[in-house]
């Protein structure tokens, strides 16, 4: 069952940069979808469309089979279900402390104070940031901020969670813990989309893999099918260790 979909999606930035060209991509419920692409491929631009931050130049974004509405109320509802952890953690952290940053989203969901506190605690534990809860967010390291920004989205408990290059800038141990967290979320039935430059990570983690290059999805399918096509891999500007002879 397709839960989120890009249909003939095109997007040009105001300066004329053509960032997405006829992107067609389906995300199925419960799926682990990895989007692989080198810098500038269009991954972040695509994600900005998935919860209506960007409005396509042409084409459609569908959630549960329906074109999304860009009216304010509809977007608020959509964003409860489709959570995005942005590439740059500073873009979603702005409170005086980690606790306040992580509770910001759930406080707007109409939950009781106890429920909010419960969610924040769980999200901090899941991202190994409990010990940071009273710290001012702006004083944290990049990797810590990254984990706090993830906690903020987890605390919203969205159905689909989109991670834009989540492990970039994380140390290996936290990156490993993070991948285990993704397994846990997946077991709980969440749909997970992540972007990465890391071919090994994408291959070993995903159920489905899409490769983007210069605004296009140039291949999608089972990781085993997509990554054995050397021409695709070469076109995408990706370095694939086991294909280098």
Positions that interact with ligand ADP (CB under 6 A): 13, 15, 17, 19, 37, 39-45
Rounded-to-integer distance, Cα 51 and Cα 125, Å: 26
Rounded-to-integer distance, Cα 213 and Cα 123, Å: 34
The least CB distance from residue 93 to ligand ADP, in Å, is: 20
Rounded-to-integer distance, Cα 28 and Cα 126, Å: 25
The least CB distance from residue 41 to ligand ADP, in Å, is: 4
Helix (H) or strand (E) holding 230: helix 230-235
The least CB distance from residue 181 to Mg ion, in Å, is: 21
Nearer to ligand ADP, 22 or 80 (CB): 22
Determine phi and psi for 234, rounding to 5 degrees: -65, -45
For residue 44, state whether it binds Mg ion (rule: CB under 5 A). Answer: yes
Helix (H) or strand (E) holding 2: strand 2-12
The least CB distance from residue 120 to ligand ADP, in Å, is: 29
Rounded-to-integer distance, Cα 44 and Cα 47, Å: 5
Nearer to ligand ADP, 15 or 224 (CB): 15
Nearer to Mg ion, 39 or 112 (CB): 39
Residues 67-106 that bind Mg ion (CB under 5 A): 87
At a CB cut-off of 8 Å and minimum separation 6, what does 76 contact?
none
The least CB distance from residue 37 to ligand ADP, in Å, is: 5
Nearer to Mg ion, 87 or 167 (CB): 87
Residue pointed to by tokens 């089972």: 222
Residues at the site binding Mg ion, with contacts judged by CB under 5 A? 39, 43-44, 87
């Amino acid at each position: 069952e397709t839960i989120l979909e890009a249909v003939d999606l095109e997007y040009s930035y105001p300066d004329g940069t053509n960032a997405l060209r006829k992107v067609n991509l389906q995300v199925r419920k419960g799926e682990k979808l990895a989007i692989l692409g080198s810098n500038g491929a269009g991954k972040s631009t695509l994600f900005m469309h998935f919860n209506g931050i960007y409005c396509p130049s042409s084409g459609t974004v569908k959630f549960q089979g329906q074109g999304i509405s860009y009216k304010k109320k509809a977007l608020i509802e959509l964003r409860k279900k489709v959570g995005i952890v942005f590439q740059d953690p500073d873009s979603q952290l702005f409170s005086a402390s980690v606790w306040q940053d992580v509770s910001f989203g759930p406080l707007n969901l109409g939950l009781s104070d106890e429920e909010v506190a419960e969610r924040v605690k769980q999200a901090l534990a899941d991202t190994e940031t409990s010990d940071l809860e009273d710290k001012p967010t702006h004083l944290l390291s990049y990797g810590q901020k990254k984990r706090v920004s993830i906690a903020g989205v987890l605390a919203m408990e969205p159905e689909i969670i989109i991670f834009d290059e989540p492990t970039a800038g994380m140390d290996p141990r936290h990156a490993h813990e993070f991948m285990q967290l993704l397994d846990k979320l997946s077991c709980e039935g969440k749909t997970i989309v992540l972007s990465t430059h890391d071919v090994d990570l994408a291959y070993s983690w995903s159920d489905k893999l899409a490769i983007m290059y210069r605004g296009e999805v140039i291949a999608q399918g089972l990781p085993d099918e997509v990554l054995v096509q050397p021409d695709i891999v070469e076109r995408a500007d990706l370095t694939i260790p086991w294909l280098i002879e």
